[in-house]
Structure 1
């Protein structure tokens, strides 16, 4: 999320600036992005502790203020993921005006979650690459996001 988007989200969420529709739009955007990350974390059928921890840290750092808010958002996002179970539907929930930097950051976060346990398995790799294409990126951009997102991944 860009600095401007974060300031806007903060003003809407915490200060109450903006309409109820604006607050709901920010919440829905964060919910959709978090649901995508939950989907990545669970795609291999195993939600490893490292993936869960990485997910919580990323959500808290980008979409929620504090650990309790992050846990709540992840719980809600998990329910959305169960209801949709389709990454394309989750991507459609994101606002169309999201800029390339915001989409790229989300893709790098997805790679980070996939690599949190030290291994990006074939299901995770295929899903995150598909997510990159659905977000409108080409292969070199998807590869760059992978390098960014997996830079601090533990060795297998």
Structure 2
């Protein structure tokens, strides 16, 4: 059964037929990764969902309705997935270091959305950054950039 779920995710995310399917797979993977940080403190907060939506609009130039569908799809895919690995692998395969940095910065925005940084959120971002092969210095630079942007 577990193998069936893994093969479904691999087929759905990595072997999408056309450019539109591949783009949608990357969008779902990015949304799932962003949502993972919102879940790290064991509650998905409305402010965090708004930050996730804003990141998806900014990154992929999507309409609000498309973002709602994308978040729903990502939540569904994430619940079916046994780990984040298929999503992270897709991002590793298709994104440049600059795009990965932008994802890490968006993860920090999600973590800070509710006005506080939970230790589980920070741990999750560190873990994701490691799995995306983002150097520690870039991980810290993303955090400091987001904190500076949010400062009054």
Partner of 2:131: 134
124-133 vs 43-52, which deviates more? 43-52
Q: 1:24 aligns with which of 21, 26, 29?
A: 21
RMSD: 2.0
Distance 2:120 2:86 in 1: 18
How many residues were matched structurally? Answer: 137
**Shift in alpha-carbon separation, 1:123–1:67, aligned structure 2, 3 A:** same
Offset of 1:81 from its aligned partner?
Answer: 1.3
Secondary structure of 2:41's partner?
coil
Unmatched 5+ residue regions in structure 1?
Answer: 1-19
Partner of 2:52: 55
Distance 2:61 2:76 in 1: 17
80-89 vs 124-133, which deviates more? 80-89
Distance 2:72 2:22 in 1: 18
Partner of 2:116: 119
Partner of 1:145: 142
Normalised by the size of structure 1, how large is the TM-score?
0.79
Partner of 1:109: 106
Offset of 1:64 from its aligned partner?
Answer: 4.8
Greater percentage in helix: 2
Please give the per-residue CA displacement for 1:51-82, whole angstroms capped at 9, x wherever unaligned.
Answer: 12111111122225211111110110111111
Normalised by the size of structure 2, how large is the TM-score?
0.81
Partner of 2:13: none
Distance 2:69 2:56 in 1: 10
Partner of 1:74: 71
Distance 2:150 2:111 in 1: 9
